Structure 1
Amino acid sequence: MSRFLVRRDFFRVALGVAVLGAVPTLTACAGSSASTAASPSGAPSAPPAAAEPFETWLAALRVEARGRGISNRTLDRALANIHPNRRVIELDRRQPEFTSTFWGYFDSAASDQRVADGRAMLEQHSSLLTAVARDTGVPAHVLVAFWGLETNYGRNMGGFNVIEALATLAWEGRRGAFFRQELLTALTIVEEGHIAPEAMDGSWAGAMGHMQFMPSTFVGYATDRNGDGRKDIWGSLPDAFGSAGRFLAAMGWHSDELWGRQVRLPAGFDYAQSDLDLRKSLAEWAALGLRRADGGALPVVAGMTASLLLPAGHEGPAFLVYDNFRVIMRWNNSSFYALAIGHLSDRIAGHGDLVGTFDHTPHPLRRTEVEAMQGLLNRLGYDAGPVDGLVGPSTRAAIRGFQAAQGLPADGYADPALYARLRRAAGMAN
């Protein structure tokens, strides 16, 4: 299992430095195929503090499930011999030591191998993908990019039994209400005959199939495209691609628009304007001197708005992102993920790599360093919000204020150099 997939599972739970805004996502707090990185252990785990016995909890769940019309036959089959899975609990409680960095994520997510595999899959399944694109308005290369990033083109769909994983998370209690509903929904999927419970495999957090749908997303958007009477997102590519296209279309995908593009900024640009929450018309961005990455004029479409992102700070690439970028974030609420999907889809479609020469060396901060940085910003009079170890909108705004006061480019980018600068400003030794 690749290191990228291992890290992505935790990335999607914690969201780390890439959190921008708060919108509903397809996978909610779930991870995906990364969960197969560690061998699932079905051995009973020591119960969390103050948890009721698992058997008592499970008996109450059965009563609730019966009240929802799930048969004893399904419950007997689905819940037989399940136990709290200690590996699921470990993964759920684990917090990464370091925050995610753009280059550390992006270079692996949109690697040359993933691009080459995606182009091969686009050709191999061209007839099916063309038909799904026609029916949903979501381009074939975009669907393939989601497939590649979610499960490495179906190679890594997860090695945990979804019923047991969800039962473990629901019983554990940390996010019990959410996972209890997902478990009941998963049991409904089994009751309806879409898959046998022992074949319902997925990630440690319950994401399933080629596209890693959570059970609630399955119920809302899965489709039986091949007409066999089952919505089989595990074994049927027509169903998997059709379901993904249906979800993205429902979230507002614009078939006649790009997700965004890399752009070139003029000298002296005010980097404080790089913020997902700041939207301007394409005409306004063009008037500020933004051009295509190759130097050509920025295409201007009446009525379209865009935001500017600098995911690696002012020394990294700049992207204008459109409404379809926000649709991608309805799938996974991470700007890094959305940029990776956009760029991977472009390259699968035959476009080139990023324009420009950049230092791709990741410069991660420890979570404890982010917490210390937030404390220093607050102490120096820049409101970074709660000290939580996550570089969200409030922290980035505080960083911009500090950078401006120090005569630095106000790009809101957190890295070890900024942390050292903050420590010096606060009179602390580095």
Structure 2
Amino acid sequence: MIRTRPVSIARIGKTLAKIAATAALLSALTTANAFADAKFQRWIADFRSVALKSGVSSATFNRAFAGVTAPDPEVLQKARYQPEFTAPVWDYIDNRVNEHSIATGQAMARQWNGWLARIEQSFGVQRSILLAIWSMETNYGEILKRDDVMRDAIRSLATLAYADRARAKYARTQLIAAMKILQTGDIDRSHLTGSWAGALGHTQFIPTSYQAYAVDMDGNGRRDIWTSVPDALATAANLLKRNGWQPGRTWGYEVVLPAGRKFPSGSLTLAEWERLGVVRANGKPFPYPTEKATLKVPDGRQGPAFLMTKNFFVLKRYNNADKYALGVGLLADRIAGYPGLVRDWNRPFTPISMQERQELQQHLQVLGYYDGNIDGKIGSASRKAIEAFQKRNGLAPDGHPSKEVLSILRRR
């Protein structure tokens, strides 16, 4: 016989009160959500006239917004928490130029050799640059397979246009462009997906850039950067070509600076830089002495230095950030078979390989510090996990994926 303890009337009353309070809260939240959805639906209805005046047909508008009933809360979350990138340059590069991205790029070069040759011939952009962009944008298309990253482009842009004041103008423009892409028949509604900010396809083009540069490379009548790798890579090549890419030229040179000397911030010819004592780090001469270049020292004078040529600044038309263009250039060189930097980054720790980074994440996961992807990429979650482990073990909590931290983890 099972005996139970008597339950007081007071306890029952408290329990019922908690249940009632929870129900009231849920009801209030439901009402609030319904109100927000209704406002969003009114915004969509009002936006119809704007879209139609901009050349979107009524049928296309209906097709675009079918099933879009509420804003995407995850888009708003990502939009509100997008701090400017403040990590050191070596951290940015380590996560993007590594043995995995290099080997995968070389494998993709072999797999897509025929198409890459045609694209090079048509647009004059080296295959290694296009492969590096593909890697930087979507990890050679792997990100397109992730439901936690890729979203309904119409809903994302409508959410930003409706609820994000800072991005509303951008989002309205891109939303109209996205509907026009749908209207052309280049992609069907179910595959019109992108990032939280509406960047589309393998090479992550915002809709207006897609309209300006998209190419039907495979000749099937559609400019499909979502499922056609030739179309996506040719579209990237077209953007670079039309923004002044110089065929057969590099993006820049690693150089050695003479100690104790100041240099101009502007552009000089490579011959002029050489007369100032700036020479290539590999000891070779500059192949085009009359070409102009600008000095960049992203890690300070203690790290590697570069003379950036015009193609570097053309890469910034893809993404207007020095670190991005440098990452593309460095990865492209490694994919093409060139050696890495002569002078390494000025890291405050002993670095580890990509495989060792994955091992580090696995150890942290087993110990309960980390619950993210085991991918070797050290983002905020990995750094917080490393810091927590370091604090628990009496180490300086710098969050660096160092050889020292891995050695201690291996002993646990």
TM more than 0.5: yes
Q: Is the 8 A contact 1:307 1:321 kept in 2?
A: yes
User: Per-residue deviation at 1:356?
Assistant: 2.4
1: distance between equivalents of 2:189 and 2:103? Answer: 35
Q: Among 108, 133, 156, which residue is 1:121 paired with? A: 108
**Is residue 162 from structure 1 mapped to residue 153 from structure 2 by the alignment?**
yes
Q: Is the 8 A contact 2:151 2:195 kept in 1?
A: yes
1: distance between equivalents of 2:185 and 2:198? Answer: 18
**Is residue 66 from structure 1 mapped to residue 52 from structure 2 by the alignment?**
yes
Aligned to 1:208: 200
Map 1:252-263 onto structure 2 (within 5 A): 252-263=244-255
Q: Is the 8 A contact 2:251 2:311 kept in 1?
A: yes
Q: Among 37, 42, 49, which residue is 1:56 paired with? A: 42
**Is residue 81 from structure 1 mapped to residue 72 from structure 2 by the alignment?**
no
Q: Is the 8 A contact 2:251 2:309 kept in 1?
A: yes
Aligned to 2:169: 177
Q: Among 314, 319, 324, which residue is 1:327 paired with? A: 314
1: distance between equivalents of 2:65 and 2:275? Answer: 62
Query: Cα distance 1:223–1:130, how it changes in 2: closer, same or farther (>3 A)?
Result: same
Kindly report the root-mean-square deviation, in angstroms, between the aligned alpha carbons of the 2 structures: 2.4
Q: Is the 8 A contact 1:223 1:231 kept in 2?
A: yes
1: distance between equivalents of 2:67 and 2:328? Answer: 39
User: Per-residue deviation at 1:51?
Assistant: 12
1: distance between equivalents of 2:31 and 2:293? Answer: 48
Give identity over the alignment, percent.
40
Q: What secondary structure is seen at the aligned counterpart in 1 of 2:255?
A: strand
- Greater CA drift, 313-322 or 58-67: 58-67
2: distance between equivalents of 1:249 and 1:119? Answer: 23
Q: What secondary structure is seen at the aligned counterpart in 1 of 2:166?
A: coil
Q: Among 275, 289, 302, which residue is 2:277 paired with? A: 289
Aligned to 1:141: 128
User: Per-residue deviation at 1:360?
Assistant: 2.4
Query: Greater Rg, structure 1 or structure 2?
Result: 2
1: distance between equivalents of 2:219 and 2:84? Answer: 47
User: Per-residue deviation at 1:101?
Assistant: 1.5
**Is residue 336 from structure 1 mapped to residue 328 from structure 2 by the alignment?**
no
**Is residue 346 from structure 1 mapped to residue 337 from structure 2 by the alignment?**
no
Query: Cα distance 1:305–1:198, how it changes in 2: closer, same or farther (>3 A)?
Result: same
1: distance between equivalents of 2:209 and 2:224? Answer: 13
2: distance between equivalents of 1:239 and 1:279? Answer: 35
User: Per-residue deviation at 1:95?
Assistant: 4.0
- Greater CA drift, 77-86 or 105-114: 77-86
User: Per-residue deviation at 1:201?
Assistant: 1.0
Q: Is the 8 A contact 2:130 2:236 kept in 1?
A: yes
Q: Is the 8 A contact 1:45 1:84 kept in 2?
A: no
Aligned to 1:248: 240
After superposition, give the CA deviation of every residue in 1:75-122 in whole Å (9 maximum; x if it has no partner).
222102212111111111114387121011011111111011001101
Aligned to 1:317: 304
Give TM-score, length-normalised by structure 2.
0.72
After superposition, give the CA deviation of every residue in 1:130-170 in whole Å (9 maximum; x if it has no partner).
11011001011111111111110011134111000000011
Q: Is the 8 A contact 1:89 1:168 kept in 2?
A: yes
User: Per-residue deviation at 1:255?
Assistant: 0.2
User: Per-residue deviation at 1:357?
Assistant: 4.2
2: distance between equivalents of 1:71 and 1:359? Answer: 56
Aligned to 2:95: 108
Q: Is the 8 A contact 2:256 2:305 kept in 1?
A: yes
Query: Cα distance 1:260–1:98, how it changes in 2: closer, same or farther (>3 A)?
Result: closer
Q: Is the 8 A contact 2:126 2:248 kept in 1?
A: no
User: Per-residue deviation at 1:44?
Assistant: 10
2: distance between equivalents of 1:316 and 1:104? Answer: 13
Partner letter of residue 233 of structure 1? I
Query: Cα distance 1:84–1:294, how it changes in 2: closer, same or farther (>3 A)?
Result: same
Aligned to 1:225: 217
Q: Is the 8 A contact 1:105 1:336 kept in 2?
A: yes
2: distance between equivalents of 1:97 and 1:71? Answer: 38
Query: Cα distance 1:71–1:44, how it changes in 2: closer, same or farther (>3 A)?
Result: farther
Q: Among 174, 179, 183, which residue is 1:191 paired with? A: 183
After superposition, give the CA deviation of every residue in 1:329-349 in whole Å (9 maximum; x if it has no partner).
010010001111001000000
Structure 2: 5+ residue stretches without partners:
1-28, 350-397, 399-412
2: distance between equivalents of 1:345 and 1:159? Answer: 26
Aligned residues: 314
Q: Is the 8 A contact 1:103 1:361 kept in 2?
A: no
User: Per-residue deviation at 1:358?
Assistant: 3.9
User: Per-residue deviation at 1:229?
Assistant: 1.4
2: distance between equivalents of 1:70 and 1:246? Answer: 26
Query: Cα distance 1:192–1:358, how it changes in 2: closer, same or farther (>3 A)?
Result: closer
Aligned to 1:16: none
Query: Cα distance 1:98–1:140, how it changes in 2: closer, same or farther (>3 A)?
Result: closer
More helix by proportion, 1 or 2?
Answer: 2
Q: Is the 8 A contact 1:222 1:243 kept in 2?
A: yes
After superposition, give the CA deviation of every residue in 1:397-420 in whole Å (9 maximum; x if it has no partner).
xxxxxxxxxxxxxxxxxxx9xxxx
After superposition, give the CA deviation of every residue in 1:5-53 in whole Å (9 maximum; x if it has no partner).
xxxxxxxxxxxxxxxxxxxxxxxxxxxxxxxxxxxxxx99979xx9992
Query: Cα distance 1:138–1:206, how it changes in 2: closer, same or farther (>3 A)?
Result: same
Query: Cα distance 1:52–1:295, how it changes in 2: closer, same or farther (>3 A)?
Result: farther
2: distance between equivalents of 1:265 and 1:338? Answer: 21
Q: What secondary structure is seen at the aligned counterpart in 1 of 2:346?
A: coil
Query: Cα distance 1:219–1:95, how it changes in 2: closer, same or farther (>3 A)?
Result: closer
User: Per-residue deviation at 1:124?
Assistant: 1.0
After superposition, give the CA deviation of every residue in 1:362-393 in whole Å (9 maximum; x if it has no partner).
8xxxxxxxxxxxxxxxxxxxxxxxxxxxxxxx
User: Per-residue deviation at 1:57?
Assistant: 1.2
Give TM-score, length-normalised by structure 1.
0.69
Q: Is the 8 A contact 1:74 1:191 kept in 2?
A: yes
Structure 1: 5+ residue stretches without partners:
1-42, 363-415, 417-430
User: Per-residue deviation at 1:73?
Assistant: 2.4
